[in-house]
A and B are shown apart, each in its own frame.
Chain A
Amino acid sequence: MAERDKSFTAKLLAQQTADPALQEKYRKELTDMLEVKIEGGRKAWGIVIVAIRYIISLICLFMFFFCPTIVGTYRYFHGILGVMLITLSVFGAVVIIKGVYKHRTHGNIGAAIVFYGSIGAWALLMAGGASNPLIATLGTGILLLGITKMVCNLIKQSELNSREQILKQEYRLAKTPLGQ
């Protein structure tokens, strides 16, 4: 960026008047957007969704463990779906208990859900069909997918941490008279 007179920029910005009522309305809408309050109808609806997910996950896991008539791929589908839904139910329940959903990036949570979900799916598959090469391959594939996702996330977080440290140093330097 070219060098410029920052005091002129500040003076120019000061020329812009704003209606306090409109500004207040904007701020309120922005806060509501960034921090979605889970209350009233939204809370009731959230509880219904979490409860439905939880019930379906329990049915799926019950069918996986206790219905010998369901066999093969169909059985494992129930097991994996059960694990995924129960993970999502726990996440949803935590948000409802907190009473507020704050927008943020969910890289760590997303990677953790995939990682632990893959371990759960792998355990289910191995418990029931480790002797079947197809099932064992499928289980190992899912586990590798979860591990890959977790490792990629760790690399990304590590890059962000390094960049953050560099920026902190640059910020300190820029604040010195030499930097300015």
Chain B
Amino acid sequence: MTRDLQTIRSELLAIRFRKGEHEAFSELVSLWEDKLFYFLRRFTGNEQDAWDLLQQTWVKVLGGLGKLNDTSTLTPWLYRVARNTAIDHIRRQGNGFLPEEAAEGAEPLDNGNYDLRLENAELVHRGLAELSLAHREVLTLFFLEGFTIEEIAGILEQKPGTVKSRMHYAKKAMKLFLEREEGDDG
């Protein structure tokens, strides 16, 4: 399977930046800011904080990109930097739940099939706001990049089993929300 154009282009830009080309970083920012902003916005209660976090993320990326040995891991690395920036922000504020604190325990998965039919983006967007932070972040990563469980586990620095469980319950919660909303509409 070939990688998608954005992933390849991002890696090319990272290489050009490492070779000393300043403009490559600006292009990388343009390429990723929408997705990273969407991801960060799911962490914070207000837009101002999300923009501030995005800027802080770019400061960290600027400092760390030259040291990123394997540029093929750029995409998950960008999300990891953004997430860690958001977690630091939540810790500093001291008035919000961290995703780890908000997650359910290691309960066994039920046998339900919660595969989502992704048709109504507006409903899914609203549904994300209804989920817990732990569920919201795994689903957001899945929707934005189609990351695998292992890749999400790498970004969250969690065990794949934990992420699998979170993804399962996140899909369940989203499915219930979608059914409820579609039922109300119908």
From the candidates A157, A173, A174, name the one contacting B19 in the complex (CB within 8 A): A157
B interface secondary structure, majority? helix
Contact B125 A16 (CB under 8 A): yes
Residues of A within 8 A of B19 (CB): 105, 107, 157, 160-161, 164
Known A-B contacts A34-B25, A105-B17, A105-B20; A12 and B3 likewise in contact (beta carbons under 8 Å): no
Report, as a range, how many residues of chain B touch the other chain: 35 or more
**What 0/1 pattern do residues 24 to 67 of B give for CB contact below 8 A with A?**
01100100001101100100000110011011001100100110
Question: A18: nearest residue on chain B (CB-CB)?
Answer: B47
State the CA gap A168–B9 with chains docked (Å): 8
Chosen A-B contacts, 18 in total, with CB atoms closer than 8 Å, are: A4-B145, A9-B143, A9-B145, A12-B38, A13-B34, A16-B34, A16-B125, A26-B54, A30-B29, A33-B59, A105-B18, A105-B20, A106-B20, A163-B15, A164-B16, A164-B19, A167-B15, A179-B2
Contact B12 A168 (CB under 8 A): yes
Instruction: Report how many residues on chain A are interfacial, defined by Cβ distance under 8 Å.
Output: 46
Q: Which residues of chain A from 123 to 142 have any CB-CB distance to chain B below 8 Å in the complex?
A: none
Residues of A with Cβ closer than 8 Å to B? 1-6, 8-9, 11-16, 18-19, 22-23, 25-26, 29-30, 33-34, 102-109, 157, 160-161, 163-164, 167-168, 170-171, 173-175, 179-180
